[in-house]
A and B are shown apart, each in its own frame.
Chain A
Amino acid sequence: MTQAAATAVPDSQPGPAIRVRELRKDFGPVTALHGIDLEVAPGELTVLLGLSGSGKSTLLRCLNGLNPITAGEATVLGQPVHGMTSREMRKLRSRIGFIFQHFNLVGRLTCLENVLIGASGRISGPRYGILSYSRAQRREALTHLSRVGLGQHAFQRADSLSGGQQQRVAIARALMQKPELILADEPVASLDPENAANVMDLLFQICLEKRITVLCTLHQVDLAMHWAHRIVGLRDGEKVLDSSTATLSREDVLNVYKQLQPEAAPDGTTA
Chain B
Amino acid sequence: MKTATKPAAEPSESPGNQAPDFNHAVRPPFSRERFVLWIALAAIAGLTVLSARQIDFDLRALGGGFDDVANLLERMLPPELDNPPRVGELLVETLMMALLGTVLATIISIPLAFLAASNTTPHPAVQHAARMVITMCRAIPDLVFAVLFVRALGIGVLPGILALGLHSVGMMAKLFADAIEQIDEGPRDAVRATGAGRLTELVSAVLPQVMPAWIGTFIYRVDINLRTSVVLGFVGAGGIGFALQDALRGLMYQSAMGIILVILLIIAAMEYLAVGLRRTLLDPASDGAAAPAIPGPSVRPPWTKGRTIRALCAAATLAAVVVSLIHLGIDPLAPIKQFTDLVTVFGRLLPPSAEGLEGALLKAVGETLAIGLVATASGAALAIPFGVLAARNVSPSGFIYHSARAVILAVRAIPELILAVIFVAAIGLGPMAGAMALGVGTIGFLGKLVADSVEEISGGPLEAVRAAGGGWWDVLFAAVIPQALPQLTGHWLYMLDVNIRTSTVLGIVGAGGIGFLLMESVRTLNFDVAGSIILIIFFIVFAIERLSAWISRLFR
Contact indicator per residue, chain B 469-489, by CB within 8 Å of chain A (1) or not (0): 111011011110111011000
Determine which of A1, A94, A122, A128 lies in contact with B3 in the assembled complex, contact meaning CB atoms within 8 Å: A1
CA distance A205 to B147 in the complex (A): 76
Interface string of B1-25 (1 = CB under 8 A from A): 1110111111001100111101001
Known A146-B19, A149-B13; contact A154-B25, beta-carbon cutoff 8 A? yes
Within 8 A of B (CB), among A70-106: 86, 90-98, 100, 102-106
A139 within 8 A of B: yes
The answer to whether B19 touches A173, judged by C-beta atoms less than 8 angstroms apart, is no
Min Cβ gap A217→B in Å is 15
Compute how far the CA of A207 lies from the CA of B10 in the bound complex, rounded to whole angstroms. Answer: 22
Q: Please determine whether A135 and B473 come into contact, CB atoms closer than 8 angstroms.
A: no
Minimum C-beta distance from B531 to chain A (A) = 46
The interface-forming segment of B170-178, B256-264, B398-406, B456-464 is B456-464
Q: Which of B423-464 contact A (CB under 8 A)?
A: 458, 460-461, 463-464
- Say whether A94 contacts B1, CB under 8 Å: no
Residue from the list A122, A155, A162 in contact with B28, Cβ < 8 A: A155
Contacts of B471 in A (CB 8 A): 86, 90
CA–CA, A105 and B461, complex, Å: 5
Partner of A146, one of B3, B17, B461, B477: B17
The reply to whether B486 and A149 contact each other, CB–CB distance below 8 Å, is no
* A126 interface contact, C-beta 8 A: yes
Partner of B469, one of A1, A90, A108, A150: A90
> Which residue of A66, A107, A112, A142 contacts B463 across the interface (Cβ within 8 Å)?
A66
**With A and B bound together, what is the CA distance between A232 and B346 in angstroms?**
82
Question: A120 contacts B478, CB within 8 Å?
Answer: yes
Taken together as a complex, chains A and B put the C-alpha atoms of A119 and B19 apart, in Å, by: 22
Q: B466 to A93, Cβ gap below 8 A?
A: yes
In the bound complex, residues from chain B placing their C-beta under 8 Å from that of A152 are: 13-14, 17, 20
B465 at interface (Cβ–Cβ under 8 A)? yes
**In the assembled complex, which residues on chain A have CB atoms less than 8 Å from the CB atom of B10?**
149, 162, 164-165
In the complex, what distance in Å separates the CA atom of A199 from the CA atom of B10?
11
What chain A residues lie within 8 Å of B473 (beta carbons)? 125-126
Asked if A64 is an interface residue, CB under 8 A from chain B, the answer is yes
Number of interface residues of A (CB under 8 A): 67
A205 contacts B5, C-beta separation under 8 Å: yes
- Using Cβ atoms and an 8 Å threshold, which residues of chain A touch B18? 146-147, 149, 151
* Docked-complex contact B477 and A127, CB < 8 angstroms: yes
Say if the beta carbon of A109 comes within 8 Å of chain B.
yes
The answer to whether B25 and A117 have CB atoms under 8 Å apart is no
Asked if A7 contacts B1 (CB within 8 A), the reply is yes
Judge whether A208 is part of the interface by a CB distance below 8 angstroms: yes
In whole Å, how far is B56's beta carbon from the nearest beta carbon of chain A? 34
Q: Which residue of B lies closest to A192 (CB)?
A: B9
B467 within 8 A of A: yes
B25 pairs with A142, CB closer than 8 A: yes
Contact A117 B470, CB 8 Å, known A104-B461, A126-B476, A195-B9: yes
Q: Which residues on B sit within 8 Å (CB–CB) of A135? A: 26
Please pick, from B2, B5, B468, B486, the residue contacting A120 in the complex, using a CB distance under 8 A: B468
With A66-B467, A91-B469 already in contact, the answer to whether A127 and B7 are too (CB < 8 A) is: no
Cβ A142 vs Cβ B22 within 8 A:
yes
The proximity string for B residues 201-223 relative to A, scoring 1 for CB distances below 8 Å and 0 otherwise, is 00000000000000000000000
- Contact for B483 among A7, A106, A194, A202, CB less than 8 A: A106
Q: How far is the CB of A59 from chain B (nearest CB, A)?
A: 15
What does the 1/0 interface line of A108-137 toward B look like (CB < 8 Å)? 111011000111111001111011000100
User: Within the complex, which residue of B6, B17, B464, B485 is in contact with A100, where a contact is CB–CB below 8 Å?
Assistant: B464
Check if B468 sits within 8 Å of A126, measured CB to CB: no
Do A194 and B19 have beta carbons less than 8 Å apart? no
Given contacts A93-B469, A127-B478, A173-B468, 16 further A-B pairs with CB under 8 A are A90-B470, A93-B466, A98-B464, A100-B463, A103-B460, A104-B461, A104-B463, A120-B465, A126-B473, A126-B476, A128-B481, A130-B28, A152-B14, A154-B25, A198-B7, A205-B2
> Please, could you name 14 A-B residue pairs with CB atoms under 8 Å apart, sorted by A?
A66-B463, A86-B471, A102-B460, A107-B483, A120-B468, A121-B474, A122-B469, A131-B28, A135-B26, A139-B26, A142-B20, A147-B18, A198-B8, A208-B2
> Residues of A at under 8 Å CB distance from B?
1-2, 7, 64, 66, 86, 90-98, 100, 102-110, 112-113, 117-122, 125-128, 130-131, 135, 138-139, 142, 146-147, 149-152, 154-155, 162, 164-165, 168, 170, 173-174, 177, 194-195, 198-199, 201-202, 205, 208
